[in-house]
């Protein structure tokens, strides 16, 4: 069903926080240029899966392959330099630094072209370049977090709940920006609780229940699935 060459392959991965198992035998793939989403309830292990791709925490069993290279045991910073970028849950910008400084942190050196592209995507980041990042609104901070992750010109962008705590209008704007990012050639892997928005945006989706992949399919398929509608979309 997926003809595209996979950029990320997760095979039979188990992850535990200490002695508490969180993920069990998770297998999924993200194709080059795709938007893939992982939806699931609170505590299903979505964020843990994303973080474990970065080795925080380490995968206990299984294999993670990024762009043909196994990254299961690589140190976090090396993984990031391979072209995998994360927009962490809760944004995690540097509040005391300026907007521009935050962006600069994202790349090893300042690439003006990339910076311009990000400013084009989120003009507010240009307008507020000299402002303390902590004084931005939640939506603007999310834009900053995404912009910061894009500074390293990642091939695959991982997003952990970009819609968390944002107003509907802001969510729409951010999802619109995500579409543009994909058009420009970055693959997206998106973890969301906001299943409705995420499945509309995504080419394919996975459903995570209690640490196991329960279902997979195209975005539209999952949107129409009655079980999913009942469990994650509030039945409408």
Partner 1 sequence: MPRKLWDAVLAGVVALLLFVPLTGVSLSGYTLEGHWQRPLWLAVGVVLGRLLLGWFLERRQRMVGTTRRPGWITAWIDDHRPYIVIAAVIGALLVPWWIGKYWLNVAILALIYVLLGLGLNVVVGLAGLLDLGFVAFYAVGAYTYALGHHYFALSFWAAVPLGAMLAAGFGVVLAFPVLRMHGDYLAIVTLGFGEIIRLILNNWLEVTGGPNGLRVPFPSLFGMDFGRRASPGHVTLHEFLNIPYSNEYRDIFLYLLLFLVVCGMVFLVRRLRRMPLGRNWEALREDEIACRSLGIQPVTVKLSAFGLGAMTAGVGGVFFAASQGFVNPTSFTFLESAHILAIVVLGGMGSTGGVIVAAVVLTVLPEVLRDFAEYRGLLFGCAMVLMMMWRPRGLMGIRRARFHRSEVG
Measured from the CB of residue 235, what is the shortest distance to partner 1 in angstroms?
36
Binding of partner 1 by 123 (CB under 8 A): no
Whether the CB-CB separation of 208 and 45 falls below 8 Å is answered with yes
How many other CB atoms are there within 10 angstroms of residue 134's CB atom? Answer: 11
Binding of partner 1 by 98 (CB under 8 A): yes
Binding of partner 1 by 75 (CB under 8 A): yes
Binding of partner 1 by 120 (CB under 8 A): no
- According to DSSP, residue 133 is labeled G
Binding of partner 1 by 196 (CB under 8 A): no
Measured from the CB of residue 124, what is the shortest distance to partner 1 in angstroms?
12
Query: Judged by CB under 8 A, which of 10, 15, 49, 86 binds partner 1?
Result: 86
Binding of partner 1 by 155 (CB under 8 A): no
Binding of partner 1 by 71 (CB under 8 A): no
- According to DSSP, residue 109 is labeled S
Nearer to partner 1, 51 or 223 (CB): 51
Helical ranges in the chain per DSSP H: 46-53, 76-81, 99-106, 112-121, 123-127, 138-150, 168-183, 195-201, 219-224, 226-232
Q: Per DSSP, what are the bridge partners of residue 86? A: 158
Binding of partner 1 by 111 (CB under 8 A): no
Binding of partner 1 by 168 (CB under 8 A): no
d(C-alpha 121, C-alpha 109), whole Å: 20
d(C-alpha 20, C-alpha 219), whole Å: 31
φ, ψ for residue 124, nearest 5 deg: -65, -30
Nearer to partner 1, 156 or 213 (CB): 156
Binding of partner 1 by 139 (CB under 8 A): no
Tell me which residue of 198, 192, 190 sits closest to 219, measured CA to CA: 198
Measured from the CB of residue 66, what is the shortest distance to partner 1 in angstroms?
13
Residues lying near partner 1 in the complex (CB under 8 A) = 54, 56, 75-77, 80-81, 85-86, 88, 92-98, 100-101, 104-106, 108-109, 115, 119, 126-132, 135, 148-149, 152
């Amino acid at each position: 069903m997926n003809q595209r060459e996979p950029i990320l392959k997760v095979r039979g991965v188990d992850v535990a926080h200490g002695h508490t198992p969180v993920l069990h035998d998770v297998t999924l793939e993200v194709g080059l240029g795709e938007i893939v989403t992982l939806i699931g309830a609170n505590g299903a292990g979505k964020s843990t899966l994303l973080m474990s791709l970065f080795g925080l925490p380490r995968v206990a069993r299984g294999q993670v392959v990024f762009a043909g290279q196994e990254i299961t045991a690589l140190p976090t910073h090396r993984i990031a330099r391979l072209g995998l970028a994360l927009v962490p849950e809760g944004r995690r910008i540097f509040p005391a630094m300026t907007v521009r400084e935050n962006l600069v942190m994202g790349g090893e050196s300042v690439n003006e072209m990339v910076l311009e592209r990000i400013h084009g995507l989120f003009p507010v980041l240009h307008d507020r370049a000299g402002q303390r990042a902590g004084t931005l609104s939640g939506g603007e901070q999310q834009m900053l977090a995404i912009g910061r992750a894009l500074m390293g010109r990642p091939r695959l962008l991982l997003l952990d709940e970009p819609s968390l705590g944002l107003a509907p209008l802001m969510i729409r704007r951010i999802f619109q920006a995500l579409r543009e990012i994909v058009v420009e050639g970055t693959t997206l892997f998106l973890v969301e609780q906001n299943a409705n928005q995420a499945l509309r945006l995504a080419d394919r989706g996975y459903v995570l229940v209690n640490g196991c992949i329960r279902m997979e399919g195209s975005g539209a398929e999952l949107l129409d699935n009655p079980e999913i509608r009942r469990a994650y979309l509030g039945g409408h």
